[in-house]
Amino acid sequence: MEPATLAERKRQLVRDALSVAALHAFAFQGFDETTIDQIAAAAGVSRRTFFRYFRSKEDVIIDSLSDVNQHITAELAGRPEGEPPAVALRRAFGLLIDTFTEYPEKSLALANLLLTTPALRARYLDRQYEWRIELAAELARRTGLDDDTDLRSSLLVGVALTAFEVARDEWVRCAGREDLNALVDKAFAFVYGAPR
């Protein structure tokens, strides 16, 4: 992979600044209450610059979820060979859980936005479908099937995503009073049994 040019690095810095400003405003001010002008001002750019990087406010959140999936897929790819699929998936989700627990107030607010804002929820479910395909392809590769249409891999990933989502929703419902790791472990144990 060739190193990024100065212009590419600058574009990435602006994109990152817009994402950070938007996610912070959404978390603490609310999605509907946050304007594109406020996001642009917080990032130190113009409204026009915002639209060079994102088509809408929804795109900021959805694009950040793409980054999350890339990291989870890379984490899954790096798990030890021979590790049972359920264990590898659970450990891969640990990366996301660490982010949630490192910034609990912001994470709770953003997760609540995803659950309560219909436009975001619909886009999130669409993005989750893409996650399942990518993670299933990686899981199939790990198990030697190397076929991204493998039913078993798709099912294992779908169940893992659902287990994580149910645990995360419970974490949001209880306003973070329960440990997210413990909730995810419990959800995985319900569907996969105790990890080996």
C-beta separation of 27 from 109 below 8 A: yes
**CA 120/CA 125 separation, integer angstroms:** 9
Q: How far apart are CA 43 and CA 66, in angstroms?
A: 21
Greater model confidence, 184 or 30: 184
Q: Which CATH architecture has domain 1-54?
A: Orthogonal Bundle (1.10)
Rounded distance, CA 24 to CA 109, Å? 9
Q: DSSP code of 46? A: -
Give the start-to-end residue ranges of the domains of the chain. 1-54, 57-192
**pLDDT band with cut points at 50, 70 and 90 for residue 195:** low
pLDDT at 151: 86
Band (pLDDT 50/70/90 cuts) for residue 30 is: confident
CATH classification code of 57-192? 1.10.357.10
Q: What are phi and psi of 63, to 5 degrees?
A: -65, -35
Range of lowest pLDDT (35-39, 73-77, 143-147): 143-147
Q: What is the pLDDT of residues 109-152, one digit of tens each?
A: 888 888 888 888 888 888 888 889 999 999 998 877 655 457 88
Q: Which amino acid is at 77?
A: A
Q: From CA 3, how far away is CA 128, in angstroms rounded?
A: 30
The Cα 157–Cα 89 span in angstroms is 7
The Cβ of residue 25 has, within 10 Å, a number of other Cβ atoms equal to 20
In the structure, what pLDDT confidence band is assigned to residue 7 with cuts at 50, 70 and 90?
confident
Instruction: Please tell me the pTM assigned to this model.
Output: 0.80
159, pLDDT greater than 60 = yes
- Residue-level pLDDT at 2: 61
Residue 146: per-residue pLDDT: 56
Higher-confidence residue: 189 or 9? 189
